[in-house]
Each structure stands twice: as structure tokens, then as C-alpha cells.
Amino acid sequence: MVAEDENVSREMAQVVAKLQDAIGRENVKTSKMERLLYSHDLAPLPNLAQIAFKNIPDVVVRPHTTEDVVKIVKIAAEDKVPITPRGASTWGLGGSTPVFGGILIDMSGGMNKILEINKENLYVKAQAGCTWKEVYDACMEQGLLLGGYPSSFPSATLGGWISVNGVGVGSMKYGTSGDLVRNMEVVMPDGTVVQTGYDLIVDNETGYNLNRLIVGAEGTLAHICTVTFKLEPAPEVMRSLTYSFPTLKEAGKPLMEICRSRVRPLHIGFSDHNHFDLLRKAGRHTLPEGHNVLNIQLEGDKEIVAWEERKIDEIMAKYGGKKLPDEVAAHEWEERCYEYRCREIGIGSIPGEAVMPLNTFEETVDACYNLLKELKLTGAIIGSIVDRNTVMFMP
Ligand SMILES: Cc1cc2nc3c(=O)[nH]c(=O)nc-3n(C[C@H](O)[C@H](O)[C@H](O)COP(=O)(O)OP(=O)(O)OC[C@H]3O[C@@H](n4cnc5c(N)ncnc54)[C@H](O)[C@@H]3O)c2cc1C
């Protein structure tokens, strides 16, 4: 006999009861308010999407272990109910929003434990609902560096950034999210648990690479429960540098020269003067008018970082880049996680993304400004270097 719950449809009542038995009542949520909260991510969906799809889940579950996920997935498979994995929902493109209702698996609520930091074999193993910042900080405390993370790392989860094959801070030196992964424990749609690689070594076997299959799959192939990342020895020093140019376009040539030199920054980000104008309008402490900046983060041994800084200074001076004081550079580095503060001044913002070869930097800057003008939008250009030949624009 299934207890009546006014929030649960008749078809879903059996499923909810099975879920409650399997993982405990306290981890199964059916209240209308709770389900509504999980019907969108950080960006609201257009009204049409809400008519075409069933974005409100029928039930929200919070697993704590891989075994819990196995039970949930098996129930969903038996009863043919759709599942949507959800991290922190910061992607903004609706990936963690249900399309046909069903079961929403909230990973950030219960699967957020760091399981092991192994100094000898240089890896960290954590549940996929941990935030990148939690894992990064815990590794740093042990003298180890997690090479990359999204700039949303205070809230974004491990499983989320892996599932979108993300690029972020540190990608220039240590690769994109998938490059950091050694192994994952995933649950397949029939409830089978699979290890996609090895904790101790890189999976360099001939044949299909399961890590690569799951990275970027947006949760459509399997549910990621734990992740093992390779680690680096923590750097002796971190150094933030900021250089200002009269226009963003003028930063193109020095960027190219840095990327063709032996200098290997952890991260290079850029922001145009419009970005700072918008921040000022939002009442934020930021640069005065007219700055278009390159923010460069170095890390490593003291002497190497000092050599890299000298090389970068030379290149910047050659192209008219003005080095800004250390406090400005430190502030810009701190702000790397808050790229969208300018949303505070308007009804919303439309973030774009264009990944381009580096030698098109100048023409892409022109193209972005032309497009903003054509669309009569108030906008700014920010972005970062992905690798020595790839630049990501986020107008
Ligand atoms: C201020 C800001 C800065 C950002 N910076 C970056 C950046 O530098 N780089 C970048 O790439 N993105 C960035 N983003 C976008 C977004 O934050 C990242 O892609 C983030 O990693 C998504 O993680 P999440 O936990 O929020 O995932 P969600 O949005 O919850 O989910 C993303 C996708 O992953 C799936 N998923 C989540 N968890 C699992 C799991 N355990 N198993 C299987 N599938 C799963 C979901 O179903 C969905 O399809 C930024 C966003 C903001 C707001």
C-alpha cells in the first residue's frame, strides 16, 4: 500500500515509495516548492521551453553513496522513469534541468566527500558532488596542486565540469577538465558500476578510452559518482601580473608572442574597458576608465617564475603594454571567479562563447564589437587562453 502524497502523481507514487525504501525518506523530496527550485538552473528558461518540456521533476533525490545511485538508477530503469543528474546547476544552459520530469539526482546535497588524498601516488579521489574549491583547497593543504578548475569553482561540482568537458583556470598549463581525470566510478543506465580508468596510472591502453567517453557526455551515458584526479607538487610561489593596453586588439600580438615563447603561465585572462565600465556602474571597486587588460598568473619555482616575469615584461614593453601595480593584479586574480558581476546592473546578460585560433585574436575582437553594434547590445569582451593556439572569447 502506497501512502497518499498530494504532490505526487498516481503513476509516480510507486516509484517514490520504492525510492524512499531504497535510500531513506529523508533523501527523497516531493514538495512542490522543492521540485520548482530544481526546474531551472542559474538562467531562467524561455517560456516556450516550459510549454514544450516538463522541466519540473516529479521527485528530487539526494544520494550519499555510489550504492544509493545504483538503487535509484535501477528503480528508474525498472519503471522507465527519466533521470537527470544535477551538480550545482551553474552551467546556465539547462543541462541539469529535466526535459520529461522524472527523477532529479541532486549530487551536491549528499555526495560531497573527499575520499582520499594520496601524496605518494599523486592523486585525489572525491565524490562527484564536491565543489572544485573544496578539493583544490584540501589538496593545497597537503602540498599538492589540482591543475585546473572552472572559474565558478566555489560552487561548481566535479561531476558538472567533467560532464561539460570544461575549460578553465589552469587549462593553459595542465589541460582541460578531462585531462585531469585518472579514473571515475560511474553508474550505467542498468545500474552496473564501471571504473573508467585507473587511480594510479594514466589510461594509455589501445582501445576505447572510457574516461574520454564520459567526459563531456552531459550525463547522458552514465552517472559519475566518484572522480580520481592526478595532482602536481604545489608550486613554491604564485605570482599575479596585469598589463594594460589602450585597446583590447593591441593585446593580440604580445599574447601571440608569449604563447610562442617557452614561458608557460598557469592562466591568461583578458577583459576589455567595457567590462570595467559595467563593473563601475554596478558599484564595484575596479579599474578606472580606458583599461584593456591581460591578467597573467604564474606559478612554480621561485627562479623560474622570476625568469618568466622578466620575459613577459620584455614582451609587453615591446608592444606598449603598461604593467599595473601588484595590488591591481592581486585583485584581478581574486576576481577570476566573479566574471558576471555586471549582471547586477540590468535585467540580465547573454553570455556568448567563441573558441578561436590565437592568430585570429585581432579580427575576432573586431567581429565581437561589430556584432554588439549590429545587435544594439551593451556588452563587453572577456576571455582566456585555452592552450598555446586556442583562445576563448566570452563576449
Ligand atoms: C561565474 C561563472 C563562471 C564560470 N566559469 C566557467 C569556466 O571557467 N569554465 C567552464 O567550462 N564553465 C564555466 N562556467 C559554467 C559552469 O559553471 C561550469 O561548466 C560548471 O563546471 C558546471 O558545474 P555544475 O556542478 O554547476 O554542473 P551542472 O550545471 O549542475 O550540470 C552540468 C551538466 O553536467 C551534468 N552532470 C552534473 N553532475 C553530473 C554527474 N555527477 N554525473 C553525470 N552528469 C552530471 C548535468 O546533467 C548537466 O548536463 C561558469 C559559470 C559561471 C556562473
Interval 53-83: pLDDT, tens: 999 999 999 999 999 999 999 999 999 999 9
What local confidence, expressed as pLDDT, does residue 1 receive? 45
Q: Which atom of ligand 1 is nearest to the CA of 41?
A: 29
Would you place residue 346 in the very low, low, confident or very high pLDDT band (cuts 50, 70, 90)?
Answer: confident
According to DSSP, the residues that pair with 357 across neighbouring strands are 390
202: phi then psi, degrees, rounded to nearest 5: -70, 140
Q: Which one, of 177, 33, 163, 176, lies nearest residue 93 by Cα? A: 163
> Exposed, middle or buried by CB within 10 Å (0-12, 13-18, 19+), for 54?
middle
Q: Is the pLDDT of residue 332 over 80?
A: yes
Answer whether residue 351 shows pLDDT above 90.
Answer: no
**Ligand 1, atom nearest to 186 Cα:** 42
Over range 306-333, report the average pLDDT: 97
Residue 350 has pLDDT above 80, yes or no: no
Task: Decide if domain 10-109 falls under CATH 3.60.40.10.
Answer: no
Q: What is the pLDDT of residue 175?
A: 97
| pLDDT value of residue 347 | 63
For residue 342, what pLDDT is reported? 79
Task: Report the chain's mean pLDDT, rounded to a whole number.
Answer: 94
Identify the DSSP state of 160: H
pLDDT tier for residue 154 given thresholds of 50, 70 and 90: very high
E strand or H helix at 184? strand 181-187
CB of 164 sitting under 6 A from ligand 1: yes
Say yes or no: ipTM exceeds 0.95: yes
Are 166 and 174 spatial neighbours (Cβ–Cβ below 8 Å)? Answer: no
Inter-residue contact 168 to 221 (CB < 8 Å): no
Domain ranges of the chain: 10-109, 110-233, 237-394
The CB of 86 under 6 Å from ligand 1? The reply is yes
Say yes or no to pLDDT of 193 above 70: yes
Task: Work out the average pLDDT over 83-106.
Answer: 94
Segment 17-36 shows an average pLDDT of 96
Look at residue 6 in the predicted model and tell me its pLDDT. 72
Three-state DSSP state, 365: helix
- Measure the CA–CA gap between 222 and 93, rounded to whole angstroms: 19
Ligand 1 neighbourhood includes 170 CB (under 6 angstroms) = no
Q: Is residue 190 helix, strand or coil?
A: coil
Closest CA to 96 of 174, 43, 149: 43
Q: Quickly name the fold that domain 237-394 has.
A: Vanillyl-alcohol Oxidase; Chain A, domain 3 (3.40.462)
CA dihedral 368, 370, 371, 377 (to 10 degrees): 100
In DSSP terms, 232 is beta-bridged to 145
Compute the distance from residue 348 Cα to the ligand 1 centre, in Å.
19
pLDDT for residue 204: 87
Q: How far is the CA of 252 from the centre of ligand 1 (A)?
A: 29
382 CA to centre of ligand 1 in angstroms: 19
C-beta 383 within 6 A of ligand 1: no
| 105 pocket-lining for ligand 1 (C-beta < 6 Å) | no
Indicate if the pLDDT at residue 137 is higher than 90: yes
Average pLDDT over residues 184-191: 98
pLDDT (mean) for 173-177: 97
What pLDDT is stored for residue 271 in this prediction? 96
Q: Structurally, what CATH architecture does the domain formed by 110-233 represent? A: 2-Layer Sandwich (3.30)
| pLDDT-above-70 percentage for the chain | 98
Band of residue 4 on the pLDDT scale cut at 50, 70, 90: low
- Confidence at 49, pLDDT banded by 50, 70, 90: confident
Can you give the pLDDT at residue 44?
76
